[in-house]
């Protein structure tokens, strides 16, 4: 009887140790995968400023470009480099996400300002100043956005006017 109890106790200990070992192995594999996936985080963050500069350069080009082949070729080259950057990012698990016309989410957006907007309802993003990026499922960089305050009502308009008047009085 005593031997049976000891045997049962030993079997229970062995099973618990096997389960614990299996859990440790799974956790270790998961941690290795995560560290491989997110190891490029700092490098990717430093490259994001380059993609931002590509966007700024392309936005600075006027819509009506003169018939200058050199300028057109330069623009095409910048667009090709930008596209290649994004493709390389995607191959490495880094994706950009669009925020325009989506509900503001403080987890993935950084609000820079709020503006009244007659077409976009309150709490939605009306302008994206800087793209947001994710690495895997984690946020790499939040999108810098402008959030709509909705349609400016007469009340709001008069409050803004009175606030501006008060500021002018203080300045004088």
Q: Give 67-108 as a DSSP string.
A: S-HHHHHHHHHHHHHHHHHHHHHHHTTEEEE--TTSB--TTT
Span 2-55, pLDDT tens digits: 888 899 999 999 999 999 999 999 999 998 888 877 788 888 888 999 989 988
pLDDT at 137: 87
Span 61-95, pLDDT tens digits: 887 777 778 888 888 899 999 999 999 999 988 99
Residue 117: count of CB within 10 angstroms of its CB: 19
Decide: 54 and 85 in contact? Cβ < 8 Å. yes
Q: Average pLDDT for residues 91-110, to the nearest whole number?
A: 93
pLDDT at 170: 47
Span 107-126, pLDDT tens digits: 999 999 999 988 888 999 99
pLDDT at 25: 95
> Per the structure block, which two tokens stand in for 111?
């609000």
């Amino acid at each position: 009887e005593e031997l049976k109890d000891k045997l049962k106790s030993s079997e229970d200990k062995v099973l618990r140790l096997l389960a614990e070992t299996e859990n440790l192995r799974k956790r270790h594999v998961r941690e290795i995968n995560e560290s491989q996936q997110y190891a490029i985080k700092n490098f990717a963050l430093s490259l994001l400023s380059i993609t931002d500069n590509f966007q700024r350069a392309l936005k600075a080009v006027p819509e009506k470009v003169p018939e200058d082949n050199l300028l057109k070729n330069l623009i095409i080259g910048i667009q090709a480099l930008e596209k290649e950057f994004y493709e390389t990012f995607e191959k490495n698990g880094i994706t950009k996400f669009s925020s325009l016309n989506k509900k503001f989410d403080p987890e993935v957006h950084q609000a820079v300002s709020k503006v009244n907007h007659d077409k976009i309802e309150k709490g939605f993003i009306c302008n994206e100043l800087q793209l947001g990026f994710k690495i895997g499922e984690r946020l790499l960089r939040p999108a810098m956005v402008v959030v709509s305050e909705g349609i400016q009502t007469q009340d709001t308009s008069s409050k803004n006017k009175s606030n501006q008047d008060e500021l002018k009085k203080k300045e004088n």
